[in-house]
Amino acid sequence: MKLTSYTDKEPPVIREIRPLKYPTEPNKYIGFIGPNNRGQPGITCRRNRYESENGQHYYRKLGSYSFSEPTLAYLKQIGVKAVFIEEVDNDAILELGLTQFLNGIDVEEIEGDPQKHVKRGNALHEWPRGDCTILDEKGVEK
């Protein structure tokens, strides 16, 4: 177990109010915007850590997750502060701050799109998915 697993902070309770599309790719979704028990506007993103038919979002070379610079500018503009990454194939939830991505590692080699990365090990917290609560827009647990 990692040090981020030992915390007195309670696991996140997240409500996904509406899907949010990428500013440069209107056919794709970044994740779901909504409130959480951190009291900060947040986004929840479902990502695959390992290869799957839905692709792999985890950047193995750096051990990180990323957002494109236009996406980060958009998230900042709409007031997002908290980022929750739900690793759907790893049964984990990672909590990060948007500022971690804004100040992240620059990499330009993903699909020719400038990216900002945060290493997975730098997440503020990590929890087993079963310890967290994700609610849909009606307040029903997913």
Asked if 44 contacts 14 with a C-beta cutoff of 8 angstroms, the reply is yes
10-residue block means of pLDDT along the chain (142 residues)? 61 96 87 95 86 61 84 96 92 96 83 84 95 94 91
**DSSP secondary structure letter of residue 79:** T
Asked if 67 contacts 47 with a C-beta cutoff of 8 angstroms, the reply is no
Look at the pTM and tell me if it is higher than 0.85.
yes
Of 19, 16, 58, nearest to 35 by C-alpha is 16
Task: Tell me the C-alpha distance between 68 and 18, whole Å.
Answer: 21
**Token pair in block for residue 118:** 């945060």
